[in-house]
A = this chain, B = another copy of it.
Amino acid sequence: MAQQRRVQLSTQRPTSTVCVLGTELSLDLCGSAPKDAVAFHVQGTPGVKLYVVHETQSIKLPSSVGRWPLAAGTEVLLAMDALSKDVGDEKVRISYFGEAGGVPVGRAMLYLTCVEVSLDADISRSGAVSRTLLDKTTWTWGPEGHGAILLVNCDRDDPEAEMPDNRDAAICSYADLKDMSQMVLRTRGPRTIFTGHRLVLHVDFGDADKVGVFYGGSSTTLEEYKHVLGGSKLAYALKPSRHQEESIFYVEGLAFPDVGFSGLVAFHVTLLESPEKGSLETPIFTDTVVFRVAPWIMTPNTLAPLEVFVCSVDDNEDFVTAVGALAEKAKCPLTVCPPPQNRQDRWIQDEVEFGYVQAPHKTFPVVFDSPRDRGLKDFPVRSILGPDFGYVARQAAEAASNLDSFGNLEVSPPVTVQGKEFPLGRILIGSSFPRFGGRRMAKAVKDFLVAQQVQAPVELFSDWLHVGHVDEFLSFVPAPDRKGFRLLLASPSACYQLLKEKQEEGFGEAAMFQGLEGVPKPTIMEILANEELRKFNYYAQSCISWNRDILKRTLGLAEPDIIDIPQLFRGDATTGAEAFFPDMVNMLVLGKHLGIPKPFGPQVGGRCCLEERVRELLEPLGLTCTFIDDYFSYHLLSGEVHCGTNVRRKPFAFKWWHMVP
C-alpha cells in the first residue's frame, strides 16, 4: 500500500505541494468546498493520475462521469509517474458546483512538483545497493527473504589503534569503510524544490547506540568523512546539492544482537515542507530502511580448518611440535602463541571461540573472548584482533565459573530435527541442568548466544565433570555418508567391554601407561576388579547417556550417527569426574586428520588396544588418527589436545540469512 498524504486545498488561493514518486496524495475535498457545493469536477494535467473513490469503488479519471457528489466518503487520490522538470509543472483543478449546477461556485487549484526521495540499501542482498520494489521497512528470513545487513565493525583496521573500529567515531582507512554497509539517499527532481524543503536523516532513539553512520559528502578523501548519526546524534539535516542526486552514507554496527536488541535498526529520511518562508515546517514524507546486524556464527569441526592455534609454555615443546606436524598434514598454518603472550596459560580452547560475521558485501572472522580471564586474557585483543579480524566479549556478572570456558561451547554440524532445519548447526553448551544449583555458564554469554538466533543453543549436562566442559565427553568428526558427520561420545561402557574382551583373550596382565615415568601401571585385570572405579563409571555412563538422549532429540540423530569411544573416568561425588586416561574424544579435528590424546592403553600384541579400537571405529570413515602424547603436559593438568588447541575455520557456504530461525 503506497504511502498516502492528505493535502488541504483552498478556493481562495492556489496550493503548491510536492508529490513524492511512489506515493499518493489524498485531496481534502470537503475541507475546501464552498458552503453550497454539492458536487465537484476534477481534472489534471497529463502527468497526474487521478482517481475518484466513490462508494468504495476507485475510478480512474478521466471517466464518463463528469461530476461527482460531494459525499463524506468521496475521496480524490492522485499519483505521479514522472519527475517534474520544473517546480509546479503539473496541476489539478477542482471545480465545485451547487444544486443549480451550471457555473462552478468555487475552484481550488493545486500545483504539483514530483520529486524522488528514496533511502536505499542492499535490500536484495546482492552485495550492492540497488533500487527495489521490496518492502524496505521489513526484514525477512529465508531464501526468498529481503532486508539489508550490517556488520558489527569489530575489527581493527588501524594497527596503531588500541580498540576495535566500532569504539570510535572516525574512519581510519578505506578498509574501515569497506566493513560498513552503504545506504544511499536519492533525491531527484527540480533542484530548486529542495531549497524550500528540508531533508533529514534520522535514527530512532532506541537504536542510536547500536549504529554509527558516516558521510563524506561529494568528497572521496577520508578526512572529509564525518560521523553524522549514532550515539547522541539522532538526526542529520542535509541540503541536496545542485549537482548530486545520490548521497552515500556508510553504516557500521556497534553491537551484536543481545537481550533487548533484536538486531534490527531502522533509518529514516524525512522531507519537511514549510508552505511559506518562515512558517512552521511539517513532515510530508518519510522513507524508512531497516537493517539487521549480522549474528556471530560458530564453525563446527566439519568445516575446513584455516589456522590452528597452540600455546608454547615451559614444558610442552613436544606437544607443540606434534600439533604442528598434524597441521602440516592438514595443510593448515599453525600459529603459536608465545610465552610472553600466554603467561603459561596453555588452555587456548577455553579462552576464545573463533567464529565469523557475514554480510553480502563482506565476511570476516570474529573471535569471541570468554569471561574466563587467566594468563591468555590479553591475547585476543593484542594478537588476534586486527584488520578484518573482529573481536567480541561478554563479561560474567558474578565471578566466572569453569563452565564459562569455551571448551564448554561447541557447535554441531548442520542438522535437521523433525523437519526443522538448522543449516548452521546448533550450539552446545554444558550446564548443571537437570541438577540444580551447581555451576552454569554466565547468563550474559548464554543470552548472547541465544540472541544470535541462527544456531539455537542446546543445554547439555556437564556439571558432573570436575572441569565441566562438553568437550570432555563429545566431539564431531566428518563422515562421507549419512548426515556428513558422526557424533563421538566418551563411553565407559564401551571401554569396559573392550577390556573384558581383552581379558577373555588372555591379556589380563597387560598394563596401562607403559613408558610413563612415575605413573602407576594398572593391568586390565586390576581395572576390571576395581569395584569403586566400576561404580563411578556406571555413574559417568549414566550422565553421558542422559546427554546422548538429549543430543539424539535436539540434533535429530539416530544410533548409527553416534560412535562410542572407549573411555574411563575417575573421581567422586565431591570432585566430579576426570578422565582416567587421556580423554580421546577431546581431539583436534583438522579435516580428515584427527589429533587424538594418546591413551596409553594396555599393550596387546605390541599395540595399544585403545588406539586400535579407535582406529577400527574411525578409519572406515576415511579419517586418519594421530595419537598425540599430552600426558604430562595437559592430561595431568585436567585437559587434553582439544583444550590446548583452537582452530579458525572456513565460514559456511550457506548464507545465514537464507535460514529461518
Chain B residues whose C-beta falls within 8 Å of the C-beta of A283 in the assembled complex: 434-435, 461, 546
Chain B residues whose C-beta falls within 8 Å of the C-beta of A501 in the assembled complex: 35
> Is the pair A545, B5 in contact by a Cβ cutoff of 8 Å?
yes
A8 within 8 A of B: yes
Chain B residues whose C-beta falls within 8 Å of the C-beta of A548 in the assembled complex: 6
Q: How far is the CA of A517 from the CA of B559 in the complex (A)?
A: 91
Partner of A259, one of B260, B437, B539: B260
Residue of A234, A280, A553 with highest tally of chain B CB at under 10 A: A280
Partner of A497, one of B33, B270, B538, B558: B33
CB distance from A599 to the nearest CB of B (A): 19
Q: How would residues 197 to 210 of chain A score, 1 for a CB under 8 Å from any chain B CB and 0 otherwise?
A: 00010101110000
> Is the pair B436, A546 in contact by a Cβ cutoff of 8 Å?
no
A659 within 8 A of B: no
A331 within 8 A of B: no
Partner of A31, one of B4, B446, B493, B535: B493
Chain B residues whose C-beta falls within 8 Å of the C-beta of A345 in the assembled complex: none
Which secondary structure characterizes the binding site on chain A? mixed
Chain B residues whose C-beta falls within 8 Å of the C-beta of A200 in the assembled complex: 436
CB distance from A244 to the nearest CB of B (A): 23
Q: How far is the CA of A30 from the CA of B546 in the complex (A)?
A: 18
Chain B residues whose C-beta falls within 8 Å of the C-beta of A558 in the assembled complex: 56, 73
Partner of A559, one of B75, B282, B496: B75
> Is the pair B436, A202 in contact by a Cβ cutoff of 8 Å?
yes
Chain A residues with CB under 8 Å of chain B are: 1, 3-8, 26, 28, 30-33, 35, 53, 56, 72-73, 75, 200, 202, 204-206, 234-235, 259-260, 268, 270, 273, 275-276, 279-280, 282-284, 286, 418, 433-437, 440, 443, 446-447, 461, 464, 491, 493-494, 496-497, 500-501, 504-505, 535-536, 538-539, 541-543, 545-546, 548-549, 552-553, 558-560, 564, 572-573
19 A-B Cβ contacts within 8 A?
A: A3-B549, A3-B553, A5-B546, A26-B549, A26-B559, A31-B491, A33-B497, A72-B560, A205-B440, A206-B443, A206-B446, A235-B436, A259-B259, A260-B447, A276-B535, A280-B536, A282-B546, A283-B546, A284-B542
For A432, give the chain B residue with the smallest CB separation. Answer: B205
CB distance from A390 to the nearest CB of B (A): 25
Q: How far is the CA of A207 from the CA of B202 in the complex (A)?
A: 37
Partner of A545, one of B8, B447, B560: B8
> Is the pair A418, B1 in contact by a Cβ cutoff of 8 Å?
yes
> Is the pair A497, B31 in contact by a Cβ cutoff of 8 Å?
yes
> Is the pair A204, B31 in contact by a Cβ cutoff of 8 Å?
no
CB distance from A542 to the nearest CB of B (A): 4
Given A206-B447, A282-B543, 19 additional A-B pairs, CB 8 A:
A1-B553, A3-B549, A4-B549, A4-B553, A6-B545, A31-B493, A32-B493, A35-B505, A73-B558, A202-B434, A202-B436, A205-B443, A234-B437, A235-B437, A259-B259, A279-B535, A279-B539, A282-B546, A283-B461
Q: How far is the CA of A206 from the CA of B542 in the complex (A)?
A: 27
Q: How far is the CA of A500 from the CA of B30 in the complex (A)?
A: 13
Chain B residues whose C-beta falls within 8 Å of the C-beta of A28 in the assembled complex: 493, 545
Chain B residues whose C-beta falls within 8 Å of the C-beta of A75 in the assembled complex: 559
